[in-house]
Amino acid sequence: MKKKKLLLLLLAGMACGCVPRPGLQPRAGAGFRSLSIKFQFQDEATRQNGRVLWRFDENCAKFLFFSPLNQVEMELAVCAENAVLVNHGKKTFWSGDFSRLLDRIWGISLTHADLKSLLAGDGSEPAGFAAKGIEVSMERAAAGGALESVRLRRGAVDLSMRILKDEFHAGKIVPVDYAGRYRPLSLEDMLADD
């Protein structure tokens, strides 16, 4: 009797492994996109490498800048074109225009909408780049044609961004108010400790 039960359990276990898994449908409700990006920046005086995790939905975005030891150094929250740069370790923040921040950090003035269109949209160059003196080159994967990297040049400035991972997740990006908990700083003071 025990042998029959054991044989039936063994057959049932084998049958369970042979049943194909059902295909999953897209998630219902709110969702956000997550891009893991490795960047390299170079101009006449500076050279930077790093990794950024960029999460965004229709309304807001959050950028997490990682150190070489894979720890979050700074966080950048963006709603429309309003940016809040946060240093959690020092409990400080800066609030202002997104394009002003990128112009100060990398010497390339891009709006959040332009960056989103360039890296996460259809991969076409946003209008007005040539008028700003920005050259754009893009590389796509051979199979499927997904965007792999973007290189922006403006004078001596050279910024390369390579997309390591592109995923969709359930949920939404929620803005946080740091004014009550953190100390405000000017952009220059915020970036002085880099």
pLDDT digits (tens, 9 = 90+) for 21-39: 555 555 556 789 999 999 9
pLDDT at 117: 86
What pTM value is reported for the model? 0.79
- For 85, the enclosing helix (H) or strand (E) is strand 82-87
123: pLDDT confidence band, cut at 50, 70 and 90? Answer: low
* Lookup: tokens for 1: 């009797």
Query: Beta 157-170 vs 60-66: how paired, if at all?
Result: unpaired
| CATH, domain range 30-192 | 2.50.20.10
Averaged confidence pLDDT in the chain: 85
Q: Is the pLDDT of residue 10 over 70?
A: no
User: Domain limits of the chain?
Assistant: 30-192
**Residues 103 and 96: beta-carbon distance below 8 Å:** no
Diameter over CA atoms, the chain? 84
Q: What is the pLDDT of residue 13?
A: 66
How many other CB atoms are found less than 10 A from the CB of residue 152? 21
